Chain A
Amino acid sequence: MIAETNSEPKVNSDTENKTVIQIRNLSKSFGENHVLRDFNMDLNKGENIVVLGKSGSGKSVLIKCIIGLIKPETGTIKVLGQNIPDLNREDLDKIRVKVGFLFQSNALYDSMTVRENLEFPLRRHSVQKSNEKENDLIMEALTNVGLAHTIDLMPSELSGGMKKRIALARTLILKPEIILYDEPTTGLDPITGKEISNLMNELAKKYNTSSIVISHDLNCVKRVASKIAMLIDGKCYAQGSYEELEKSTDPKIKHFFEL
């Protein structure tokens, strides 16, 4: 992990155009509540950036802006070269095929079986696929997360960790280039959390994805982060590798790394 982290910037410096997400001066407030103020961040191809921040600091708002679920007041969010706030519904849908989103609360459709949950993004995005191909994709996604036997269960019959895996399978089924994870390990026991983190790394390698991960779980952060961004007071307060930030003497940063 450490070796990889160190080699990252070198790779990216000689291929400048490999920035997949570029966020500039992003601001968003809800009434008087200024959640994001002039937030800047870049995600390069192959990187896994972890965003650390207190509860309520606007981490979910940040990645919902990236996927176009929340419209920011000002700022640009370039995803694969296109500015998200400017896009109309059709262009947004095209980008969303390439950007997977794992929701904090999994967001599995309660009224559908696991199979139907996985079919949903396949069928709804106008990516035409034959029935057999569709079935293969579903089986592949479920096998990737090790839950092929749950295909006909309802979400209510699954445990928390299983739900997270199914949600991950649903996110991955369209083979996205970028994945946004909203607290993938929160609410899981340490062992399951570790499994999910390993799974994320495995899948990133297998499908060559880049990702933004939101997490407070230091074990998960250590495992997946190639870079960490600290979201404090609506700004990208600091960036760096786990080791760099861990050694920081800034009290605002330090207190995230104290156990």
Chain B
Amino acid sequence: MKSSGFRKFLSETGDIARFTGRFFTELFKPRFEFAEFFRQCYFIGYKSLPLVAITAFIMGLVITIQSRPTLVEFGAEAWLPKMVSVSLVREIAPVITALICAGKIGSGIGAELGSMKVTEQIDAMDVSGTNPYKFLVVTRVMSTTLMIPILAVLADAVSLYGGFLGTNIRGVCSWDLYWNQVFDTLTYGDVIPSIAKTFLFGFAIGIIGCYKGFNSSKGTEGVGQSANSAVVISSLLVFVLDLLAVQITDLLQLT
């Protein structure tokens, strides 16, 4: 029983790797689906904006409020903006953005492609002179890969604003002083790796959503399952990639 589960895991990993490999071979072959790509960017980027902004704002606020007592204990209350900005920009904003998108976009792609598969819409595209892999998968993966970093940068800004309000709930810190402190603290070594990893997050979310949708089993149950496992696997991958990214930045001494 256990070995069969493990074998299934391995074979699925292999399938995902092959699916990803296909992405790169199809990506550079002509007939680029720009119209569909921009449509997906609109859905994936613009439509997730409010959700990402609200979550980032709340996270900024909450982290600041919760960090305060510890710093007060050490008499280092003035360090609040420094500390908060590093943890927000380096870790919290990108990971929260990726998780929100894994939930919203990953499940959306999984369910959409899954139901297209089940009702033969993917086959119908195929016989209508369209390579469904290029039309559906390449465009979606490209737009998640490009939109999630943009959302993450936005989340950085909004969460820092949340941090500013959080600092001012119990203490006083002027707008200028807060941002001076934040930008003094943050180095390129903080910002660049944190943005770089969001490209990986976006790619993982897109590929897993598409893979699950494309391989959805027949029936409405299969569609639900693909949406569900798309979220589970891509969220897990976000953490794994985060761990890898932190190891790499650490090794390269970018910290």
Contact = CB atoms under 8 A, between A and B. Distances in A.
Interface of A: 64, 67-69, 89, 93, 96-97, 101, 103-111, 120-121, 124-126
Contact of A110 (B121, B125, B126): B121
Nearest 4 A-B pairs (CB), nearest first?
Answer: A107-B124, A125-B129, A107-B120, A121-B128
8 contacts: A69-B123, A69-B127, A96-B127, A96-B128, A103-B123, A120-B128, A121-B128, A125-B128
A64 B129 contact: no
A124 B115 CA distance: 22
B115 A110 contact: yes
Given A110-B119, A124-B129, 18 more contacts: A64-B123, A69-B126, A89-B131, A93-B129, A96-B127, A97-B129, A103-B120, A103-B124, A106-B120, A108-B121, A109-B121, A109-B124, A120-B125, A121-B128, A121-B129, A124-B128, A125-B128, A126-B129
A68 B125 CA distance: 13
A103 B116 CA distance: 13
A73 to B, nearest CB: 20
A96 B129 contact: yes
A108 B125 CA distance: 10
A125 B121 CA distance: 16
B119 A106 contact: yes
Of B112, B119, B124, B125, most buried by chain A (CB within 10 Å of CB) is B124
B14 to A, nearest CB: 17
B11 to A, nearest CB: 14
Contacts of B123: 64, 69, 103, 107
Interface residues of B, number: 16
Chain B interface, DSSP helix/strand/loop, else mixed = helix
Contacts of B121: 107-110
Chain A interface, DSSP helix/strand/loop, else mixed = loop
Nearest to A125: B129
Nearest to B123: A69
A105 B112 CA distance: 16
Nearest to A167: B124
A120 B132 CA distance: 13
B209 to A, nearest CB: 16
B216 to A, nearest CB: 14
Contacts of A121: 128-129
A191 to B, nearest CB: 25
B181 interface: no
B130 interface: yes
Interface string B79-120: 000000000000000000000000000000000100110111
Nearest to A95: B127
A104 B121 CA distance: 11
Nearest to A174: B128
A211 to B, nearest CB: 15
B130 A124 contact: yes
Contacts of B118: 105
B119 A101 contact: no
Nearest to B39: A111
A231 B246 CA distance: 60
Contacts of A105: 118-120
B116 to A, nearest CB: 8
Nearest to A111: B112
A67 B123 CA distance: 10
B217 to A, nearest CB: 13
A109 B121 CA distance: 6
Interface in B116-173: 116, 118-121, 123-131
Contacts of B126: 69
A89 B194 CA distance: 41
Contacts of B125: 120, 124
Nearest to B115: A110
Of B119, B123, B129, B130, most buried by chain A (CB within 10 Å of CB) is B129
